[in-house]
């Protein structure tokens, strides 16, 4: 697996953290408030910066782009650099488009959500306290740092950390650790909630001359 593809898929399982403080907090109340704030968010748009580390290659990579989410289940991640990449998902399918390679991979979206609880949460299909146990919640510089452990031990996910604004419980970033020692961090900026998003944003047409690898037929 190369670093580029690993980091792109990693965005389905959210990303980022700061060093914890020693402040005692009501962890359950804070997690519930983050969930409530996200439940009230029908659409989400932002810029992002992603940092990925692949242990087997001992390599790190930074990428940036924009994201659009419309609940339930619609997402578009548009990577601008270092390599252009587009990931689009809706109720039917997920497409991964690599323009430089002239290749599109299509897969069933159910296969992503059925094995990926962070993706369920981002898509508005899951609840944090149903999928995770709360290990610790701390606060630093006006940011809540929420450390979560997946209840399903069969997953490759070892730990997820959410960052939320202390003033309004808005998620501003995350970090994900898997069982192989890989990690992916992400910070959101220029966040815009509950704006009208065109349904065409979450549709994908394979460009002419681009190879289609359709895994949805074999899953």
pLDDT digits (tens, 9 = 90+) for 81-132: 899 999 998 878 999 999 999 999 998 877 665 545 566 677 666 788 888 8
* pLDDT at residue 6, as a whole number: 52
Q: How many domains does the chain have?
A: 1
In SS3 terms, 105-151 reads as EEEEHHHHHCCCHHHHHHCCCCCHHHHEEEEEEEEECCEEEEEEEEC
pTM of the full structure = 0.82
What is the C-alpha separation between 137 and 87, in angstroms, rounded? Answer: 31
- Domain containing residue 70: 3-217
Backbone φ, ψ for residue 6 (5° rounding) = -60, -45
Q: With a cut of 70, which residues of the chain have pLDDT below it?
A: 1-25, 111-120, 123-125, 154, 219
79: CATH: 2.50.20.10
* pLDDT at residue 73, as a whole number: 84
Mean pLDDT of the chain: 84
């Amino acid at each position: 697996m190369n670093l580029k593809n690993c980091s792109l898929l990693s965005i389905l399982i959210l990303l980022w953290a700061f060093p914890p403080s020693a402040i005692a907090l009501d962890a359950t109340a804070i997690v519930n408030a983050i969930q409530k704030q996200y439940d009230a968010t029908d659409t989400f748009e932002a810029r992002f910066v992603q940092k990925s580390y692949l242990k087997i290659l001992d390599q790190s990579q930074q990428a940036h782009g924009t994201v659009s989410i419309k609940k339930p289940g619609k997402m578009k991640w548009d990577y601008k650099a270092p390599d252009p990449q587009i990931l689009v998902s809706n109720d039917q399918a997920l497409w991964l488009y690599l323009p430089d390679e002239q290749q599109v991979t299509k897969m069933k979206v159910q296969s992503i959500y059925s094995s990926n609880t962070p993706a369920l949460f981002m898509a508005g299909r899951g609840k944090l306290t149903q999928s995770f146990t709360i290990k610790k919640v701390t606060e630093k510089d006006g940011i809540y740092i929420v450390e979560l452990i997946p209840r399903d031990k069969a997953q490759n996910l070892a730990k997820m950390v959410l960052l939320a604004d202390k003033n309004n419980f808005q998620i501003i970033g995350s970090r994900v650790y898997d069982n192989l020692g890989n990690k992916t961090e992400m910070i959101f900026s220029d966040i815009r909630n509950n704006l009208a998003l065109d349904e065409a944003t979450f549709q994908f047409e394979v460009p002419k001359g681009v190879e289609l690898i359709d895994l949805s037929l074999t899953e």
